[in-house]
Structure 1
Amino acid sequence: MRMKDKVAVVTGAGPGLGKAIAVTLAHEGAKVVICDVSDASLDEARREIEEAGGTCLAVRCDVSSSAEVHDLFAAAVEQFGTVHALVNNAALTPNRPIDTERRNTLYAYLQTPVERDSLRFTSEITDEEWLRYWDVNVHGVFYCTREALRLMEPQRYGRIVNIASIAGISARSAHSPHYSATKGAVVAFTRSVALEVAGANIFVNAMAPGGVATPAFNGYLEQIGETGRNRLWQSCPAGRFGSVDEYASTVLHLASDEHYLVGQAISPNGGSAI
């Protein structure tokens, strides 16, 4: 019960990794406040937490809206009195058909003998695509962190975990320069805020995961076939991607009182970036 009597907000907690983090924190005793833009996945996550005996408040929230983020934290305070931990997980990820095409192009370029040339990713990104990623992945982290600190600073206690990505600390996701840029910004923001607030016993850190074995990515692995999968695993010494539960356990550690980490970007990635 490492989170006993703690209130934790987890953004983007409807599907995949976000839900696994919320379930893990609840299992360790936290009262969890979850948000997502999908009512269906949000309701499913709430049911799963409550059926496991956890306490959960589900709030629909688009983190790219500062007004909606304000209302999210107001609801958390009204229900539970305060917030002790924040996990900034909500993010746009490159999972559209064009993103799959770019990813396959990059992997083929890196792992097969083909003629060297520009891959033409950045030059084809639209203004709208670029700005939307920043709205969610960076502005959303800022809005949530600002609201959390307004509660944590007076109580002189808090834990903030920002979910970055291996894309933000390496070129592993060169197929998505807009995504990589936002996750690099999250790492930089983490370090800056961590130094600012550590004296108030508020520890801010980031987890920068490698590949996450979500249902969506497992679908991609099926799509690329055995040859594509074998080519992909050549770049990951562990020979597989991490499970959502493996990543959630790292977040649990960073959200608990069992560490002395400040401003660190921890990257569980199976050896893909060492």
Structure 2
Amino acid sequence: MRLQDKVALVTGAAQGLGRAIATAMAQDGADVVICDIQEQKLHDVAREIEALGRRCLPVVCDVSSPTEVASMFATAAERFGTVHILVNNAAKVPTRPADEERRNKHYAYVTTPMPRQAVGVTSSLTEDDWLRWWDVNANGVFYCTQEALKYMVPQQYGRIINISSVAGISTASMHSPGYSASKAAVASLTKTVALDVAGAGVYVNAIACGGVLTPPFEEYLEHASDEQRQNLYQMIPAGRLGRPEEYASLAVYLATENHYLVGQVISPNGGVVI
């Protein structure tokens, strides 16, 4: 029970990776604050955590709103006294039909012999395609981090784990430049904040996830052709997507006191980036 007597706040915890991380934190002894905009799924996760014998506070919160974020942390502090661990997981991911079309074009281009040419991704983007990532993926991380530090710095202890992506450190998601850029911002913010607050006992690190078998990816695979699925797996040396539980175990480790990691961007990705 490495997280006994600790309070963890996990954003985007209603499903997928956030759900796995929140549950893993509870299994390792933490009481957990979970937030999302999907209220019913959020309460389902809260019941799972309480069944493990841990306390859980579900909060409906849009992390792109600094007002809602401040209210969430105040509610968490009122219930548990403080917050020791923050996992900035909430994010938008490429799931629109146009996103899938660009993704399939990208996978085919890098895995199938064909003449070299411009793929046409960047030139096809609209202003919305570019801007829609930033409020949640980048601004939300900043707002939550800023609120968390109000508790962590005075208590001289904290752990912040930012969920970035292999897309932010490579060309693995060339099909979505806006998403990739927002996740690169998370990786960069991780390093600058880490340098700022490490002296106060607050360690900030990031996980640059490879492909995660979450509901959006499961839906993509369900509708993809055999060729499109083959193209995806061909890009991953491990030959499969990562399971949420595999990433969650790393998040738990970064939440503990048993490491010397500060400002690191760690990328479990099945060998996509080595």
**Which deviates more, 40-49 or 112-121?**
112-121
The alpha carbon displacement at 1:234 in A equals 1.7
The alpha carbon displacement at 1:144 in A equals 0.2
**Which deviates more, 197-206 or 38-47?**
38-47
Supply the distance in 2 between the matched residues of 1:221 and 1:189 (Cα, whole angstroms): 32
Question: Map of 1:86-101 to 2, 5 A cutoff?
Answer: 86-101=86-101
Gaps of 5+ in 2: none
- Count of residues in correspondence between the two structures: 274
Question: Map of 1:1-274 to 2, 5 A cutoff?
Answer: 1-274=1-274
CA distance change for structure 1 residues 117 and 92 in 2, over 3 Å: closer, same or farther?
A: same
Supply the distance in 1 between the matched residues of 2:18 and 2:128 (Cα, whole angstroms): 25
Supply the distance in 1 between the matched residues of 2:54 and 2:227 (Cα, whole angstroms): 43
- Which secondary structure state, in structure 1, belongs to the residue aligned with residue 225 of structure 2? helix
Supply the distance in 2 between the matched residues of 1:137 and 1:80 (Cα, whole angstroms): 27
Tell me, yes or no, if the aligned pair for 2:12 and 2:34 is still in contact at 8 Å. yes
Supply the distance in 1 between the matched residues of 2:115 and 2:237 (Cα, whole angstroms): 26
**Which deviates more, 198-207 or 114-123?**
114-123
- Which secondary structure state, in structure 2, belongs to the residue aligned with residue 269 of structure 1? coil
Tell me, yes or no, if the aligned pair for 2:130 and 2:177 is still in contact at 8 Å. no
- Which secondary structure state, in structure 1, belongs to the residue aligned with residue 95 of structure 2? coil
CA RMSD of aligned residues (A): 1.1
The alpha carbon displacement at 1:11 in A equals 0.4
Gaps of 5+ in 1: none
The alpha carbon displacement at 1:111 in A equals 1.2
Letter in 1 for 2:121: F
- Please list the CA deviations of residues 118-175 of structure 1 after superposition, one character each: whole Å capped at 9, or x if unmatched: 2222233222332221111000000000000011111100000000000000000000
- Which secondary structure state, in structure 2, belongs to the residue aligned with residue 164 of structure 1? strand
Letter in 1 for 2:232: L
- Which secondary structure state, in structure 2, belongs to the residue aligned with residue 137 of structure 1? helix
- Please list the CA deviations of residues 49-102 of structure 1 after superposition, one character each: whole Å capped at 9, or x if unmatched: 112222100000000000000001000000000000000000000011111111
Tell me, yes or no, if the aligned pair for 2:203 and 2:263 is still in contact at 8 Å. yes
Supply the distance in 2 between the matched residues of 1:124 and 1:228 (Cα, whole angstroms): 21
Supply the distance in 1 between the matched residues of 2:46 and 2:130 (Cα, whole angstroms): 32
The alpha carbon displacement at 1:246 in A equals 0.4
**TM-score of the pair, normalised by structure 2:** 0.97
Letter in 1 for 2:33: V
**TM-score of the pair, normalised by structure 1:** 0.97
Identity %: 58
Letter in 2 for 1:69: V
Letter in 2 for 1:222: E
Supply the distance in 2 between the matched residues of 1:135 and 1:218 (Cα, whole angstroms): 25
Supply the distance in 1 between the matched residues of 2:66 and 2:186 (Cα, whole angstroms): 17
